[in-house]
Amino acid sequence: MHESTAQVASKTVKASAKWIAALLLFCALAWSGCTAAHHRRAADKEVYRIVQQAEWQIFGKTNALTIDTAYSARKPTEILPAELIEDRLQTNRRTLTIEGALDLAVHNSRRYQTEKERLYLTALALTGDRYAFSPQFFARSSAGIERTPGGERVGRLGTDLGVGQLLKTGGALSVALANDLLRYYTGEPRREVLSFISVNLTQPLLRGFGRNSPEVENLRQAEREVMYGIRDYSFFQDEFALEIVNDYFALLEQKDVIRNRYTNYLGRVRSTQRLEARKDRDKSSDVDQARQAELSARNNYVNAVAGYRNSLDQFKIKLGLPIGEKIYLDDQALAEVKAAGLVPAPLHPGLAYRLAVEKQLPILNAIDQFEDRKRKIRVAADAFKPGLDLGGRVSLDSTRPTDYTRFNPKLVRAEAGVTLDLPIDSLSERNTYRRTLIAFEAELRNLTLTLDSLKDSIERGLRTLEQRRQNYMIQQSALELANRRVVGGNLRMQAGVAEVRDLVEAQDAQIAAQNAVTSALVDYQESRLQLMLDIGALQTDGEKFWLKDHLAGFLPANAVAENAPAPDQSVIPPDEFFNN
C-alpha cells in the first residue's frame, strides 16, 4: 500500500527536525568545549611561548612573564567600585627596604603592569599574523525552508567543511568539501544530495612573490615588533628599577635633611637660651637676632617634614600602595652608600659611545627599525612588476544518486592557468613607493638624531659625574670648616667675645654643608647609575646593584680606562678653559 502525500511530508518533516536537532546539539557541544576561559588560556599559552622564545633568542635566557593581577581570576562583574574605594583606605604598616620597594613595584606598580601588557599585546598581534600562515579550518552549516513560485516547499541543509592556508611563497591553498541536502515536501516527495570536493591554489610568479608578498612582509614585521617589544620591556625594567632606587635614596636624603634641620633648630634654641640667661651683659638686639634665627630654623624644619611627607605619598603611588599605608624607610641603605664612597666610572667619551651603540637596547631597536624602512622600499618597488599569477583548481562531484560517500575519481575536473596583470595604471603604487622613500628619509633623520642624543647624553653624563665628584669633595671640606666655625663660635660666645651674627652665619653654613654632602653623594650615585644605563652596562637583577661597579667585566679586554683627576686638582682659569 502506497503512503499518502501527507504521510510522506510528515516523515520528511520529522527527518529534517532530527537533522536540525543534531546540528544544534553539535553546536552546543562545541560551544561548551570552547568557553571564553578556554580561549583566554589558549591565548596566554601561545603568547608566553612566543615571548620566551624571543627572549632566549635575544638574551640566551628567559623570564616568567605573566600579566595576571589580583583581580584576573575574578569575573569583572564581581569587582565593584565600593570594593576599590575601601581597598585604597588600608592603613597597614611596614618597614620598607630598597629590595622590598623593588619587589612591590614589580607586583603592584600600575606603570609596570602597563608595560607588561604592552609586550603581551605585541606578541598577541603576532599570533594573528602567524595564524594566516597555518591551516585554518572552517565548518559552516545552514538550514532553511523555501516555497518556490510553483508552490513547492523545499527544505535545505547545507554543510561546508574545509581548510585554507597562506603560503610563505605568497600563494594561497584551500581544500573544501560541500554537501547540500534538499527535501521536497510537496509534489513528488524526494531527496537530493549534492556534494563536491575542490582544491584551489594561487601562486604569484612576479609581483608579490615570496618575501615581497604583503602578507609575508606583515608577518616578518610582526615578528620583529615582538623583538623590539622585548628589548623595550627589558630596558624599562632596568630603567624603572633605577628610578625606584633613586626615589628611595632621595627620600633618605630628605630624612637626613630633616634630622640636620632638627639638630640645627635645637642648637639655635640653646643659643637663644644662653643669651636670654645673660641679658644683663648682652645687647637685647643680640637676643632678638638669636630668636629670629631660631624661628627661621624651626620654619625650615617644619617645611622639610611637610616636603618629606608629600614625597613619601608620591612614592607610594608609584609603588601602587594605598596612600593610607604607613611605611618606614631603612636608613641602612644610605649608610652603605656613604661607606662605599664614590664608585669610579673611568670612561672615555668615545669608548662609552661605542659601547652604547653596541649594547643599549633602545639603540639596537632604532638601528633595526632603520633597516625595516629599507625593506619597505623593496616591497613597494615590487608593486611595479606585472602581476603574473598561476592558478589551479581540482574538483570532484559526487556521482548520482548523489552522496558525499560516493565519488568517482574518473570524474575529476582539473583546470590550470595564468593571469597576467600589466601595470598600465600604477598611480597608486607610485604614490605608495614615494611615501616609503620619504618615510625612509624620516627614519634616517630619526636615527641620526637618536645617535646624536645618545652621544650628548653620554658626554653630558660624564661631565655631570665629574662635576658631582668634585662637588662632593668640596662639600666635605666645607662641612669640616663649618663644624670648626660652629665650635669656635660657641666657645667665643660663652666667653663673651663673639658677635651673635658670627655664630648664626656659622650655623647656617654648617646646616647647608651637612645637607650638601648627602645631596652630592646621592647625586653622584644617580649620575653614575644613569650613565651605566645609557651605555647598556647596568644590571639591575643583582643584589644591591646600586653599590656595584658595573664596568667590571663589561669593558672590552683591550679598553683603556681613563684615570680620574686627582682630588687636589687646581681650578682651571676661564680663558685657559675656553681656549683648550
- Please write the tens of the pLDDT for every residue from 519-547: 999 999 999 999 999 999 999 988 999 99
Of 516, 488, 483, 481, the closest CA to residue 502 belongs to 488
Q: Which amino acid is at 301?
A: Y
With a CB cutoff of 8 Å and minimum separation 6, the contacts of 321 are: 104, 108, 327
User: Which pLDDT score, from 0 to 100, does residue 79 have?
Assistant: 83
User: Which pLDDT score, from 0 to 100, does residue 406 have?
Assistant: 57
Cβ 50 vs Cβ 226: under 8 Å: yes
Question: Sign of the C-alpha dihedral, residues 547, 552, 554, 559?
Answer: positive
Q: Which residues does residue 395 pair with via DSSP β-bridges, in sequence order? A: 198, 413
User: Which pLDDT score, from 0 to 100, does residue 305 have?
Assistant: 93
User: Which pLDDT score, from 0 to 100, does residue 6 have?
Assistant: 40
Q: Determine if the peptide bond prior to 401 is cis (ω within 30°).
A: yes
State the first-to-last Cα distance of the chain, in angstroms, to the nearest integer.
121
User: Which pLDDT score, from 0 to 100, does residue 78 have?
Assistant: 84
What cell does 519 get? 645631596
Q: What CATH superfamily is the domain 217-371+438-578?
A: Outer membrane efflux proteins (OEP) (1.20.1600.10)
Question: Sign of the C-alpha dihedral, residues 380, 382, 383, 389?
Answer: negative
Looking at residue 212, the DSSP 8-state letter turns out to be G
d(CA 352, CA 455): 9
Cβ 470 vs Cβ 445: under 8 Å: no
**Three-state SS for 431?**
helix
Residues of the chain with pLDDT under 50: 1-2, 4-21, 23-24, 32-33, 402, 404
With a CB cutoff of 8 Å and minimum separation 6, the contacts of 230 are: 51, 54, 55, 58, 119
Cβ 209 vs Cβ 169: under 8 Å: yes
Q: Domains of the chain: which residue ranges?
A: 217-371+438-578
Q: What is the pTM of this model?
A: 0.83
d(CA 239, CA 502): 47
Using DSSP bridges, classify how beta strands 136-147 and 326-329 pair: parallel, antiparallel or unpaired: unpaired
Class of residue 377 by CB neighbours under 10 A (exposed 0-12, middle 13-18, buried 19+): middle
Of 267, 356, 355, the closest CA to residue 556 belongs to 355
Compute the chain's Rg from CA coordinates: 39
Class of residue 579 by CB neighbours under 10 A (exposed 0-12, middle 13-18, buried 19+): exposed
With a CB cutoff of 8 Å and minimum separation 6, the contacts of 224 are: 368, 372
